[in-house]
């Protein structure tokens, strides 16, 4: 491992893809600031990252709270001095119809559509949460004329999925934010990219992977014939976060086994 002298902030880092991203970056010598809502999980991620020989800290942060994000920024500045990489990975998934759908059967709990509060909550985590984090740490990268931003989205931005309209809309907005900031920040040496994840077994997708018929339907759509592994996505994020990707910006890179071909 080579000490890169870089520091990365990763949201949704308590488990799953976020933890895998932290550990891959740490294995390459990048200091880790893991942010998540569950204390035990985020502290474990930080401990695992520190075992790679880098500075690592886990902070309990809900990205829907500007106060908590700002507090994290102050703690990171005191501990590391600066941030070079931001990975927006925090997310939630909600399965509900957009409006009431008569005769809909076989979907327990679908008798009620997405409420205003639920819609706002999903967008607040995925989209506005990323905005808060980038407003906190983006100015420092711009000032130092170096930075890498990777937004973890979903391949739903290239296809359609029923009953996930809030999630899909939030991810689509995050893709457009990626493009907009890539245009604004490129002159300052800051790249902004997104990775469009396909099917990965995580806590958020547990229900899907526990249903054999659901898994069969899913794999029929994937030319690779399998789900992804967390380490594969983490490797892509690490590449986009590194020196060699300095001429890649504004892109949404699919990692979905060919599902959206």
Q: Where exactly are the structural domains of the chain? A: 7-251
Scored b (16 or more CB within 10 A) or e, 211-243 reads: eeeeeeebbeebeeeebbebeebbebbbbbbbe
Confidence (pLDDT) at 105: 63
167: annotated active-site residue? yes
Scored b (16 or more CB within 10 A) or e, 187-208 reads: eeebbbbbbbbbbbbbebbeeb
CATH tag for 7-251 (out of 3.40.190.10, 3.40.50.720, 3.20.20.80, 3.30.750.24): 3.40.50.720
In the predicted model, is pLDDT for residue 234 greater than 90?
A: yes
- Which helix (H) or strand (E) element contains residue 144? helix 129-144
pLDDT tens-digit map of 45-101? 999 999 999 999 999 999 999 999 999 999 999 999 999 999 999 999 898 999 988
Confidence (pLDDT) at 210: 67
Question: What distance in Å separates the CA atoms of residue 244 and residue 249, rounded to the nearest whole number?
Answer: 12
Query: Of 95, 167, 188, 239, which one is the catalytic site residue?
Result: 167
Residue 202's Cβ-side half-sphere holds a number of Cα atoms within 13 Å equal to: 24
pTM: 0.93
Q: 98 CB contacts (<8 Å, ≥6 apart)? A: 113, 114, 165
User: 17-21, 56-60, 102-106, 204-208: lowest mean pLDDT where?
Assistant: 204-208
In the predicted model, is pLDDT for residue 8 greater than 70?
A: yes
Mean residue pLDDT across the chain: 93
Summarize the confidence of residues 23-34 as an average pLDDT: 98
Question: What distance in Å separates the CA atoms of residue 76 and residue 171, rounded to the nearest whole number?
Answer: 27
Answer positive or negative: Cα dihedral of 45, 49, 51, 56: negative
């Amino acid at each position: 491992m080579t000490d890169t002298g870089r520091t990365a902030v990763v949201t949704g880092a308590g488990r799953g893809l976020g933890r895998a991203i932290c550990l891959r970056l740490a294995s390459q010598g990048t200091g880790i600031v893991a942010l998540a809502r569950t204390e035990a999980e985020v502290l474990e991620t930080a401990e695992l990252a520190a075992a790679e020989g880098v500075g690592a800290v886990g902070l309990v942060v809900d990205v829907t709270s500007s106060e908590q994000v700002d507090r994290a920024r102050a703690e990171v500045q005191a501990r590391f001095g600066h941030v070079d990489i931001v990975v927006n990975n925090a997310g939630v998934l909600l399965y509900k119809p957009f409006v009431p759908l008569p005769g809909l059967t076989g979907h327990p709990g679908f008798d009620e559509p997405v409420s205003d509060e639920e819609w706002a909550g999903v967008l607040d985590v995925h989209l506005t949460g990323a905005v808060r984090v980038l407003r906190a740490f983006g100015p420092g990268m711009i000032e130092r004329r170096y930075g890498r931003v990777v937004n973890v989205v979903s391949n739903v931005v290239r296809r359609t999925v029923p009953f996930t309209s809030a999630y899909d809309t939030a991810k689509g907005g995050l893709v457009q934010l990626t493009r907009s900031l890539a245009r604004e920040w490129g002159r300052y040496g800051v790249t902004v990219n997104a990775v469009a994840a396909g099917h990965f077994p995580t806590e958020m997708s547990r229900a899907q992977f526990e249903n054999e018929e659901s898994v069969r339907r899913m794999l029929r759509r994937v030319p690779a014939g399998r789900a992804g592994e967390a380490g594969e996505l983490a490797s892509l994020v690490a590449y986009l976060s590194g020196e060699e990707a300095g001429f890649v910006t504004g892109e949404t890179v699919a990692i979905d086994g060919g599902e959206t071909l």
